[in-house]
Amino acid sequence: MLYKSQIGIEKNFSFLKDPVIVNSIFLKKAERIEVLGLVLLIALLIWRLMERSMRKYIEANDCTMTGWEKRPTKKPTAFMMTTKFISMLVITMGRNRQLARPLKDYQLQYLEAMGVTADIFTVP
């Protein structure tokens, strides 16, 4: 076996084959296409590490996280997590940053699972 969970990796790469994504990229030079490929691979690596971190947290704490439609899940995805922060607003005044409203408990749990605190949004 070359790598575990091949189907998961194939699913993650499927977005690169999506005509909506591919057709909207206007790169002609081979070097730029290579760099874009590298950036996308690094982004995918980060995406998968986020999922791994969340699932390790669930395993270590024997808990669930808020998933789709506020249902508990033991298999959160990185996409699921990003949707939980979509309404978050950071206000910047000069050099100071603050959250427009306090984070919800499930948002704090996602941050804890990632090993970061809410300060990540307000402390440069």
Mean pLDDT per 10-residue run, the chain (124 residues)? 59 66 70 82 87 95 95 94 93 94 96 95 90
The tokens for 23 are 């057709």
- Taking residue 112's Cβ as centre, other Cβ atoms within 10 Å add up to 15
Instruction: Examine residue 14 and state whether it is found in any structural domain, yes or no.
Output: yes
Instruction: Examine residue 23 and state whether it is found in any structural domain, yes or no.
Output: yes
Q: Which helix (H) or strand (E) holds 31?
A: helix 30-61
Instruction: Examine residue 22 and state whether it is found in any structural domain, yes or no.
Output: yes
At 52 the pLDDT is 93
The tokens for 116 are 């970061």
Segments forming the whole domain that contains residue 20: 6-121
Is 113:54 a contact under the CB 8 Å cutoff?
Answer: yes
The torsion angles phi and psi of 105, rounded to 5 degrees, stand at -55, -40
Instruction: Examine residue 1 and state whether it is found in any structural domain, yes or no.
Output: no
Instruction: Examine residue 31 and state whether it is found in any structural domain, yes or no.
Output: yes
The tokens for 51 are 């999922």
- Separation of alpha carbons 65 and 57, rounded Å: 10
Amino acid at 117: T
Number of domains in the chain: 1
Instruction: Examine residue 59 and state whether it is found in any structural domain, yes or no.
Output: yes
At 94 the pLDDT is 92
Instruction: Examine residue 34 and state whether it is found in any structural domain, yes or no.
Output: yes
Instruction: Examine residue 18 and state whether it is found in any structural domain, yes or no.
Output: yes
